[in-house]
Structure 1
């Protein structure tokens, strides 16, 4: 890695285990969603999410009575089972996860080497940004309630799929354009992107960024198109 002026990092599988999201957060949201929705029907955000649920379901060919809360909850649970990225589901999941974090029901997993180096880069005044498929709100909850404490101050900013899909080069160009608003003269080659997904790294590399493939649970490839590491110490 040469002349890195800014780091852009993924979360799941990179700074943190995939299993925390898969085995803790998603089941928690599925379990608590029915009660949460019914207990917060007067909440404007919940009402908006339910309205969007009915509209999106109709667009998918499933007409639901917008006033039938049980049907709306069933639709949301169907999307959870399918790992859908439906916007109203993401909104409600974020609200439920926030309650879980605040209640102390869980804390976000962090790899020790990731926390150590995030703190090191912060001390070195090397800006670190997050790019994840999870919403910016979910990202901030994740790092704000981590097992290593509140790590939010270590990051200079957050990006989600409003920038585009993570496997498309244009998304990284969109992020670069946003970064250049606060980092004058920043070039794509000044940015190092960290991820555990090869296709995301391919897209970032196509956009001109430096890349590093973080592989936690399997052997490192010997002929990879990206520098591969198993520990942040080797980046």
Structure 2
């Protein structure tokens, strides 16, 4: 008997609306970058992120104002820069903990995640958002703490870029699953291509109204909801 399929999910555009992240979470972090950096100067994660920004700028002595300008520039271009995601993750985690923020999920997602967990499918998250942001996101859903549903979390720092096959190979090795027994759900064709190149199964989640809808999901199996993905996995 085969091992149960391992399921890896993306966040933006797949489990939750991109608009919520862009319109609610991005401005929330933008307003708090400077204060967060200055008040968490002794935090190793913040120190590392600031150093990474300075390295990217080629300005080892850049002050907080310069670092914040760089962060906001990346934010304006929606770049998946690791230090940006690290700092956003800390800020968002504090916002979720305080009750100022609650994460967003499409209505079809949480019931299916619970179904997959109950059926014995190991589940993981792989997102460009930092692990700390993922923990805050899934720990503060409209239906409470979803973290017990997941075995682990991967981001661009502990796994690598999402459009590179080697990142998916690294994740497969870390979780100890055969590549052909892993299913990745994402709304981005380039990410699905990379996962398939690493031997994974793929499902493209194409939701009307999402930014990447018109681009499609290439030649990957396509669904509009997690209910459809569930039926696909049972075939």
Among 164, 167, 176, which residue is 1:168 paired with? 164
* Number of aligned residue pairs: 224
How far did residue 153 of structure 1 move?
A: 0.4
Among 211, 227, 230, which residue is 1:233 paired with? 227
Could you tell me whether the CA contact under 8 Å between 2:205 and 2:225 is conserved in 1?
yes
| 1:133-173: CA deviation from partner (whole Å, max 9, x where unpaired) | 11212111110111221100011111112322222222222
The CA distance in 2 between the partners of 1:223 and 1:28, in whole Å, is 30
Could you tell me whether the CA contact under 8 Å between 2:204 and 2:223 is conserved in 1?
yes
How far did residue 100 of structure 1 move?
A: 1.0
Specify the alignment match of 2:151 in structure 1.
Answer: 156
Deviates more, 1:78-87 or 1:16-25: 78-87
The CA distance in 2 between the partners of 1:50 and 1:213, in whole Å, is 35
Specify the alignment match of 1:87 in structure 2.
Answer: 82
Q: 1:9 to 1:72 in 2, by over 3 A?
A: closer
Among 116, 128, 134, which residue is 1:139 paired with? 134
What is the correspondence of 1:1-235 to structure 2 with a 5 Å cutoff? 5-58=5-58, 63=59, 65-66=61-62, 68-161=63-156, 162-180=158-176, 186-217=177-208, 225-235=219-229
RMSD of aligned Cα (Å):
2.7
Q: 1:92 to 1:222 in 2, by over 3 A?
A: closer
Other structure's SS at 2:191 match: helix
Could you tell me whether the CA contact under 8 Å between 1:195 and 1:214 is conserved in 2?
yes
Could you tell me whether the CA contact under 8 Å between 2:108 and 2:226 is conserved in 1?
yes
Could you tell me whether the CA contact under 8 Å between 2:134 and 2:153 is conserved in 1?
yes
The CA distance in 1 between the partners of 2:119 and 2:84, in whole Å, is 38
Q: 1:226 to 1:112 in 2, by over 3 A?
A: same
The CA distance in 2 between the partners of 1:87 and 1:128, in whole Å, is 23
TM-score, normalising length from structure 1? 0.83
How far did residue 204 of structure 1 move?
A: 1.7
Which stretches in structure 1 are left out of the alignment for 5+ residues? 181-185
